[in-house]
Amino acid sequence: MTHAVHESALLHATCEARYVHDLALRDPTALHAWPVQSTHAHAHVKGLDASRALQMPGVRAVLTGADVPGAQQIGPVRHDEPLFPSEVCYHGQPVCWVIADTEAEARAAASQVQVAYEPLPALLTIEAAIAADSFLTQPQTIETGRPDEEMAASAHRLSGELRVGGQEHFYLEMQCAYVHRDAAGGLHVHSSTQHPTETQITVAHVLGVPAHEVICEALRMGGAFGGKETQASSFAAIAALGCLVTGRAVVVRLDRRRDFAITGKRHPFLARYEVGFESDGRLRALRVELFSNGGYSLDLSAAIMNRALFHIDNCYRIEHLRARGRVARTHLPSNTAMRGFGGSQAMVIVEEIVDRVARTLGLPVEQVRERNFYGPGDRTHYGQEVRDADRIGRIWRELMTSSRFTERRRDLAAWNARSRDTKRGLAITPVKFGISFTTTYLNQAGASVLVYRDGSVQVNHGGTEMGQGLHTKVRVVAARALGVLPQSVRLMPTRTDKVPNTSATAASSGSDLNGEAVRRACVELRERLAPVAGQLLGCAPGEVTFADGRVSGAGKLVAFVEVVERAFLQRLPLFAMGFYATPGIHYDAQRGRGEPFRYFAYGAAVAEVEVDGFTGHYRLLAIDILHDVGDSLAPLIDRGQIEGGFLQGMGWLTCEEVVFGPDGALRSRGASTYKLPGIGECPERFVVNTLGRASEAGAVFGSKATGEPPLMLAISVREALRDAVAAFGGIGPVALGCPATPEAVYWAIQERTRPGSGA
Ligand code: MTE
Ligand code: HPA
Ligand code: MOS
């Protein structure tokens, strides 16, 4: 069987793939918007004078709150984001927007808008917010066992603190929206959004019109990574408002600097923990307090903290555990979803804890990790059974063997003994990631499948394509379920007038949810066609099989199109809607108990690094990955997701650093000041394998979600760097910053080798 190639691969490679801005550029009548941005992190807006800007060439309007016919406040969960703020809450926040004939004219005029501010004190860090009692949420807690008693009874205890950095999504295509009135007078919104329904609803609220007046279409995105789950909607609302005010089509497109400064990022976290453990390395009790930096508004921060609390165990059984989390409110852009969605931060924290336990005891870290793995029948701290816990051990052992871990550990020790100024480090880390939206009701999807008389097929579903290959996977599902060739299936641009009330394409569940909705629609069609085929073939409907565009039964064969034509003449409907709601999941947030996930995705990675003791500079020598993708729908897509997710995680944990100045202005605002992993940082040897015999009963055609889980494989790189730092001397735990930039690695080595250091 040939594996499905990304349905837009050729278009990507030839630059023919169109994005929202390309659509807008084909419309010469479209106007362009540019924001006037706050020059303070926190201030009252005392006055706004647009008279000079309105005199500038090409200017059509300056949008302010006075133009809004509907809701002034937006926000996905809590409506706490004013489109036109009278109190600015972060540096760079849009205060108003200029609409002009060209982007250059809008930009020039924006600089002429006079805004008077009365500055107010600003909180920028989690620590400052804690001191000021500034929070966006009440604390959430998940507790199991008797953490206090068992902590006291543990043979060993240690406590610590870890700060985990944020991360910019750095999608290649910036936030963009293009809105025009369609021929029927409705608003047609083209948006680079992961959540067309929320974008539709936000536009409708701001304009004060019913949802049916607004169509949101999402052709494709040039990357999203969670950054367009909620945060695309405000830009669509501005474009729609501009369209309402001027009567013309309006485009909003941010440049890199503005996108970086205006939109939220991955949440930085602060963890304070105490762990109790036994002399063999077994974890007995854990108390951990998590704080995230939510920025100025709630956005998805509560759900992100929730997912963090769900992942503080990673693969480890900790029978007595209390995890508490609270979101700090600061004067920064509102932090949002990003690949891993809080689970990633929590997993970094628990891997640090396990490493400290092992090094405190002087035991090999990989042994302590393995010793604490969940086994069959175990339940997590929120009460969900880890049904296929044996996969953790299976992946671990297979990867240990295939990566030759033990021999390499020995070779590496010998190498380090010979090398004084350069040291190598090796680590293996596991991943367990819960699949489903933790907000149960979001786990639903719809689809519509249309069969034309010539046998060609159009598929609509509620998911969006952001490069992750969702359309490719759904096409495989449709072709298989209908028994036609993939090339006769066309995936249509996602539109809210085709499938309504959709969830965001997020939580890695795009193909699980939309794929299953499409499969069900196809099964309904096939069941309708089977009796017709039975007549043609002379057999019972139950004996008919559909495969590869042919329909067979009773030893005979007809083309799919013949069956379709016959069904049409018999006046049967050749279209079907499909719907799927993930069964069996539930969660009671009050009790902190339930089964929030349909299943877990598993994987493990081995990283080997080489560190220069003089500079902290390092090289990634080799990566070995074994990841569980179930029965892959599209192995090439899944490989891309594993490699890409790993590298994005590596960037987060080793080189990307979001830096704000003391005034709250973003200092790292482009690729020149924000170090992304480049080809030079890619591992010299990069081995990616997928787990065999891994069919997932709970998902479409036995497949498994692969969008987010591989990102956490990169924790292995941070732990390998720690291992290398340890090799420079000293004993006991190694303190290492996160991200482990070369600078952080340098200071870790200094700390470790400082004469008289406790280590
Ligand atoms: N892959 C690419 N190329 N671009 C993206 O924006 N987003 C990631 C992941 N992989 C992303 C990606 C995130 S955050 C999620 S939740 C999933 O894809 C969403 O798509 P899926 O549910 O279809 O896997
Ligand atoms: N993951 C991603 N996005 C979400 C989630 C989740 O668990 N819940 C709400 N939005
Ligand atoms: Mo992904 S962070 O769930 O969009």
Integer CA distances (angstroms), 276 to 152, 154, 320, 371, 598, in order: 8, 5, 9, 15, 31
State the pLDDT at residue 756: 67
| Choice among 198, 465, 708, 719 that is catalytic | 708
Has 751 been annotated as catalytic? no
707 lines ligand 1 (CB under 6 A): yes
Average pLDDT, the chain: 97
pLDDT tens track for 107-132: 999 999 999 999 999 999 999 999 99
Distance 127 CA to ligand 2 centre (A): 26
Under the banding of pLDDT at 50, 70 and 90, the label for residue 2 is confident
Under the banding of pLDDT at 50, 70 and 90, the label for residue 759 is very low
The pTM of the whole model exceeds 0.95:
yes
- Neighbouring-strand partners of residue 270: 163, 291
Query: Per-residue pLDDT for 1 more than 70?
Result: no
For residue 163, give every residue at least 6 positions away whose Cβ sits within 8 Å of its Cβ, in sequence order, or none: 126, 268, 269, 270, 271, 737, 738
442 lines ligand 2 (CB under 6 A): yes
Task: Enter the tokens of residue 645.
Answer: 């997710």
pLDDT tens track for 290-317: 999 999 999 999 999 999 999 999 999 9
Question: In ligand 3, which atom is closest to the CA atom of 226?
Answer: 4
pLDDT tens track for 66-109: 999 999 999 999 999 999 999 999 999 999 999 999 999 999 99
Report the alpha-carbon distance of residue 622 to residue 628 in Å, rounded: 20
Distance 470 CA to ligand 1 centre (A): 8
pLDDT tens track for 610-641: 999 999 999 999 999 999 999 999 999 999 99
pLDDT tens track for 130-147: 999 999 999 999 999 999
Distance 224 CA to ligand 3 centre (A): 8
Residue nearest to atom 1 of ligand 2 (CA): 507
Residue nearest to atom 4 of ligand 3 (CA): 226
Question: In ligand 3, which atom is closest to the CA atom of 340?
Answer: 2
Residue nearest to atom 2 of ligand 2 (CA): 507
Task: Enter the tokens of residue 479.
Answer: 């072709």
Under the banding of pLDDT at 50, 70 and 90, the label for residue 415 is very high
648 lines ligand 1 (CB under 6 A): no
Q: Are 423 and 611 in contact (CB under 8 A)?
A: yes
Report the alpha-carbon distance of residue 726 to residue 703 in Å, rounded: 40
φ and ψ at residue 444, rounded to 5 degrees: -150, 155
Under the banding of pLDDT at 50, 70 and 90, the label for residue 754 is confident
Ligand index nearest the alpha carbon of residue 344? 3
Structure-derived torsion over alpha carbons of residues 391, 394, 396, 398, reported in degrees to the nearest 10: -140
